[in-house]
Amino acid sequence: MSYGLLAEFATADQLLTAAGQARHAGFHSMEAYAPFPVEGLAEAVGFRRNRVPLVTFLGGIAGGAATYFLLWYSAVIDYPINVGGRPLHSWPSFIPPTFEITILGAAFAAVIGMLMMNGLPRLRHPLFAMPEFDLATRNRFFLFLPASDPVFDAARSKAWLEQMMPLMVREVPV
């Protein structure tokens, strides 16, 4: 059983063109691999919704709210002590820790959210079995057409990829 077809390109522009053409040809779950972020590539493969900012925002809110609550609860309810007649709920002194943990919560949410939405960590992937794919983190650009795509047809898709002038096209085993 084939997992799909992998085409290798020498430049980012070629991959960008090929990814755009693949969308025109009706593919919708193709994947494009580049050794650095290429502007417009995510849009070319049909990436729409980026939820990282939302998750980051929620993480920050959660961190800040939880910290302020902890400070208020401990200083007002659980352990009220009079320090030089200052009010128990002396909110200006609660700001520094609240600010810090807001940042911390947002940062952790951004990183963990990004990794989870990307399906990482993932230690095994069919593409890792392709020796050519090692160059995806060095100097080559890859377009992958998954066999699960409704318009995928082993012979026709291969011929279609060949006309994009790739360095090579390979079949990826599962």
Partner 1 sequence: MENDALRPPVSKDIGVLRAGWGYASVSDKISDIVLTRPAGWGWITAFLLTFAGVLVFFGATVWLFVKGVGIWGVNIPVAWGYAIGNFVWWIGIGHAGTFISAVLLLLRQKWRTSINRFAEAMTLFAAGIAGIFPILHLGRPWFFYWLVPYPDVMNVWPQWRSPLVWDFFAISTYLLVSLLFWYVGLIPDLATLRDRAGVHPVQRGKQIIYGLLALGWRGEARHWARYETAYLLLAGLATPLVVSVHTIVSFDFAIGNTPGYHSTIFPPYFVAGALFSGFAMVLTLAIPLRHFFGLQDFITRRHLANAAKVLIATSWLVGYGYAAEIFTAYYSGDQYEIYMTVNRWTGVYAPVYGSMLVCNLLVPQLLWSRRIRHNIWLLFGISLMINLGMWMERFLIVVSSLHRDFLPSAWGVFYPTFWDWVHLLSSIALFVWLFLLFVRFLPAISIAEMRALVRESAQEGS
Q: Cα separation of 130 and 168, whole Å?
A: 12
Among 2, 90, 168, 173, binds partner 1 (CB under 8 A): 90
d(CA 167, CA 82): 75
The H or E element containing residue 56 is helix 52-72
Determine, following the binding rule CB under 8 A, whether residue 162 of this chain makes contact with partner 1: no
Pick from 11, 69, 156, 168 the residue near partner 1 by CB under 8 A: 11
Length of the chain: 174
Q: Are 4 and 26 in contact (CB under 8 A)?
A: no
In angstroms, the CA 141 to CA 93 distance is: 53
Query: Least CB distance from residue 151 to partner 1, whole Å?
Result: 19
Residues forming the site for partner 1 (CB under 8 A): 10-14, 19, 31-38, 41-42, 44-45, 47, 50, 52-53, 56, 60, 70-71, 74-75, 78-79, 81, 83, 86, 90, 93-94, 96-97, 99-101, 103-104, 106-108, 110-111, 113-115, 117-118, 120-125, 127-128, 133-139, 165
